[in-house]
Amino acid sequence: MTQEPFGARLRHAMDTRGQLCVGIDPHASLLSSWGLGDDVAGLERFTRTVVEALADRVAVLKPQSAFFERFGSRGVAVLEKAVEEARAAGALVLMDAKRGDIGSTMGAYAATYLDKDSPLYSDAVTVSPYLGFGSLRPALDAAAVSGSGVFVLALTSNPEGAEVQRATAADGRSLAQVMLDHMAAENQGVTPLGSVGAVVGATLGDARADLAINGPLLAPGIGAQGATPADLPGVFGDAVGNVVPSVSRGVLRHGPDASGLREAAERFVDEVRAAVSDG
């Protein structure tokens, strides 16, 4: 059976589980704070704990691929198992890989994360459009076939991103707005939500962009980077109902106890719900 498109599945997940994405970012300092070694055993223990604690209750889990890749094939094997188990427990898995290339290489990245026969098949993947939005076509097409999603970097939470993303195109639009307009065209007419999302930092204060792309808006920066759920209406305006706030350290620092992870995630879900309702 062909699964529902990602946008529809994400809308249902956010409506039932709340608007929250929790990152799985097993960097060395976090492993240490959990009393784990910076090795494959520590990586596996950390990842299994997060998945078992949260995959049956949060809308989205977002493993950061780099933190697994640094351990080579054994780290990637841990990632493969985490993706499988998280999806089996009901969470949507967004692979944070930020891939960006052209032609057959982009097609190979798309096959890695968006082909149902791949061991790393995920519900969605992050991609970079700054080789031109058209370079993403292999990923967009693969996602459409498998019912997956693609999150495109638009206005990121890192300060240095502005030198590229706020640059002005020939027609006067910012480069970020050019990308957002492309995303809106991909999602046009789709209900209840398109499957091409944008990455827009929650730390921006004011996005200064038209975010009405009829797709999800992944919002990193909540928690350790300084943004709070209360900031979301100011950044996203009328599009705040489509925001997927992303929290990593703000939840993960409450481990290794599973109940601590769950309680932290539930607090963020409640705070986001209140902020969106007030907004």
Catalytic center residues: 98
Cα 61–Cα 97–Cα 191 angle in degrees, nearest 5: 60
Measured CA to CA in angstroms, residue 211 lies from 8, 200, 250 at distances of: 19, 9, 26
Token pair 């009393």 in the structure block, residue: 35
Rounded to whole angstroms, how far apart are CA atoms 80 and 272? 30
Q: What is the three-class DSSP state of 5? A: coil
- Compute how many other C-beta atoms are within 10 angstroms of the C-beta atom of residue 123: 27
Contact 101, 131 (CB under 8 A): yes
Q: Where are the alpha helices (DSSP H) in the chain?
A: 6-17, 28-33, 40-54, 65-69, 72-88, 103-114, 137-146, 162-165, 175-187, 232-236, 249-252, 258-278
**Lookup: tokens for 31:** 């492993």
Alpha carbon 80 to chain centroid distance? Answer: 17
Contact 259, 232 (CB under 8 A): no
Rounded to whole angstroms, how far apart are CA atoms 101 and 218? 21
Which residues on adjacent β-strands are paired with residue 2? none
Which residues on adjacent β-strands are paired with residue 197? 151
For the chain, what is the largest distance between any 2 Cα atoms, rounded to a whole number of angstroms? Answer: 54
